[in-house]
Amino acid sequence: MTYLAWIVAFIASILLTPLVKRLAFRVGAVDRPNYRKVHADIMPRLGGLAIYLAFLIGILILRPMHEAMLPLLIGSFVIIVTGVLDDMFEISAKAKLFGQLIAATIVIFFGGIQIDTINLPFSNGELDFGFLSIPVTIIWIVGITNAINLIDGLDGLAAGVSTIALITLAGMAFIMGDTFVIIMATLLAVSTIGFLFYNFHPAKIFMGDTGALFLGFMISVLALLGFKNVTFVSLVIPIIMLGVPISDTFFAILRRLLNKQPPFSPDKSHLHHCLLNVGFTHRQTVIIIYGIASMFGLAAIVFSMAKLWGGILLITVLLIAIELFVEIIGLAGSNYRPLLNLVRNKSK
């Protein structure tokens, strides 16, 4: 039955995307080129609606049972409505945040999804978040939701990176024996792959905020479900798994602070912009970022099986590699090169 649901969701995504494309033009959900956009033509967005509908079809076939199922579906519906409104009318950032907060609140209070405690390494101690558990969980959900949205700047980029994260998440859930997360992650992955047939460069339709917010929301919640018994290690795993959107968001904020700009102001210096500026083509840039996301996914799986000191070594190597890569391509700004400058000074 699972294989049937995968096939049906995949085919449904392929069949629904052209219909959603026509709908996007009809309701005015289009993306017009400007100084921040890479594309030069008016493009239909709203493509995330096809992913969502295909995913729901798969859910109706399998009908997975879980206490968080209904709250997750209601929360995702709120996210979809928020994304559709933004794709049609370009609502304010505050309105989008409001929709995300409602969705996060639904899964927390009615689905029982929240980060309560973290077992600390090197000791038998435990960090209890207490009354901060709900705010911390909201920050996680909203943060990952927007991180996926921020990398949605090239054809097929957010859809591909999300698919890699979902496959990694399904792999981790398989190791842990979590059937519900496996079903949800794989159904969402095949629905997104079907959409990629129209979204990979040169794209015929964009997923828009409808897709980016939906994928980000689902990944953030499924990651919490998959690692519900939160230890220090299990909290780090989804962070590594989502290394591309998280690091891009972190360095975007750092870049703006260094340039004395508002931390969430839009610019044209994200990871994909930097790679394009280096000289890579549109398609090469997307494939490179796919490769980076895959390495993060593999690192997350290795980290989950490593001993404590091995995990620390892996994290250290990852952080140094990220920092060097960021400085070389100028992700945090052309003048931000502390590690490279340190190496140069020592070599003199």
Query: Cα(274)–Cα(270) distance, rounded to whole angstroms?
Result: 6
What is the model's pTM?
0.88
Using the structure block, give the residue that is written with the tokens 């309701």. Answer: 27
Ligand-binding annotation for 149, yes or no, is yes
Tell me how far apart the alpha carbons of residues 344 and 338 are, in angstroms, rounded to a whole number. 10
Q: Is 199 annotated as a binding residue?
A: no
Q: In degrees rounded to 5, what are phi and psi of residue 279?
A: 130, 0
Task: Return the pLDDT at 94.
Answer: 93
Mean pLDDT, consecutive 10-residue stretches, the chain (348 aa), reads: 91 97 94 62 91 97 92 97 95 94 96 76 65 89 88 87 92 87 96 96 92 95 74 66 81 79 70 83 91 88 77 85 85 78 70
The token duo for 250 is: 């972190």
Domains in the chain: boundaries: 2-347
pLDDT of residue 23: 96
Q: Check if the beta carbon of residue 288 is closer than 8 Å to that of residue 275.
A: yes
pLDDT (tens digit per residue) in 231-286: 555 567 777 877 888 888 888 788 878 777 776 666 667 788 788 888 888 899 99
Q: CB neighbours of 288 closer than 8 A, spacing ≥ 6?
A: 275, 280
Number of residues written out for the chain: 348
**What pLDDT score was predicted for residue 162?**
93
Residues 80-89 pLDDT 10s:
999 999 999 9
